[in-house]
Structure 1
Amino acid sequence: MRHFEHFPVGSTYELGATRLTSEDIIGYARVYDPMPFHLDPEAAARSPFGGLVASGWHTGAVVMGQFVRALLADSACQGSYGMDEVRFLKPVRPGDELRGRAAVEEAAPHPRRPDTGTVRFLLEAVDGHGQPVYRMRTRLLFARTAAGAVMREATATRP
């Protein structure tokens, strides 16, 4: 299980790949983002996109799923402070394969909870051509290992 100490600044993690189909895009859009260019190939062809595109939120949900499966599901994650930045950089189209990556930008012990640390991640995704399509920054809380918490307290209490 990964704890706060397992996420040093500068670490990067490959999150895997997910290929989106027209059915995936339309199915997500029906429920969560029913814009015509996400739902209807004919309407999408007349849009500025010139064809069906995934909702940016769909792209973000795919990358979040990759992040959870690759890193968070087997971690001592205690939740998130939310997102500091979300960018939809390029339209995602049917057949595109999204490859996610996470990088640790900051990691620090929690200022009031010695058994917890915060980690700021940059999550990014590229399409099958290596073009950036999505970027998000988020800060998560993780339990610290018992040894890590004891070491930090011992260091902090030295004269």
Structure 2
Amino acid sequence: MRHFEHFPVGSVYELGATRLTSEDIIGYARVYDPMPFHLDPEAARSPFGGLVASGWHTGAVVMGQFVRALLADSACQGSYGMDEVRFLKPVRPGDELRGRATVEEAAPHPRRPHEGTVRFLVEAVDQDGQPVYRMRTRLLFARAAAGTARREAAAAPH
């Protein structure tokens, strides 16, 4: 399990790849972002020259990669939110999104000695290496020493 100490500044994590289909794009849009250019290839011809994924869909795909590759097996305690979200290039059917997370800052929590905060730059490129998405987020993690101390206290005879 990864704790705060496992995220030194400058660390880079590859998050995997996900290919989006027309069905993925339209299915997401029907539920979460029903703009015509996300639902109908004909309606999308005017502004984008074809069907494009919602930026929020792109973000959800990359967030899924981030969680599966890095956060699910960590001592993450939650997020302070996103400091920046950018949709850099339209994502089209057939595009493959490859995510990457880079640790930009890591610091012990100023008031909680058993926790630390980590700021990540989370980015995605398409199959041509063109940037399509960027997010900065700050997450809270338990410190490894805190987990050890809690386990030892729980195991101690009473």
Contact 2:114 2:146 in 1 (8 A): no
| Shift in Å, 1:51 | 0.3
> Over residues 120-147 of structure 1, what are the superposed CA-to-partner deviations in whole Å (9 max), with x where a residue is unaligned?
0000000000000000000000000117
Cα distance change on mapping 1:81 and 1:45 into 2, 3 Å: closer
For residues 24 and 13 of structure 2, what CA distance do their matches in structure 1 show? Answer: 25
Q: Greater shift after overlay, 126-135 or 45-54?
A: 45-54
For residues 128 and 142 of structure 1, what CA distance do their matches in structure 2 show? Answer: 32
Contact 1:29 1:55 in 2 (8 A): yes
Contact 1:79 1:140 in 2 (8 A): yes
Contact 1:120 1:138 in 2 (8 A): yes
**May I ask how many residue pairs the two structures share in their alignment?**
158
Contact 1:114 1:149 in 2 (8 A): no
Q: Structure 2: where are the runs of 5+ without partners? A: none
Q: Structure 1: where are the runs of 5+ without partners? A: none
Query: TM-score w.r.t. structure 1 length?
Result: 0.91
Runs of 4+ in structure 1 deviating by more than 3 angstroms, as ranges, are: 147-159
Partner of residue 4, structure 2 = 4
Cα distance change on mapping 1:131 and 1:82 into 2, 3 Å: same
Contact 2:8 2:106 in 1 (8 A): yes
> Over residues 30-62 of structure 1, what are the superposed CA-to-partner deviations in whole Å (9 max), with x where a residue is unaligned?
0000000000111x3432101000000000000
SS of residue matched to 2:110? coil
For residues 28 and 151 of structure 1, what CA distance do their matches in structure 2 show? Answer: 42
Contact 1:105 1:121 in 2 (8 A): yes
Cα distance change on mapping 1:22 and 1:55 into 2, 3 Å: same
SS of residue matched to 1:46? helix
Query: TM-score w.r.t. structure 2 length?
Result: 0.92
Aligned identity (percent) is: 91
For residues 78 and 35 of structure 2, what CA distance do their matches in structure 1 show? Answer: 31
Contact 1:2 1:75 in 2 (8 A): yes
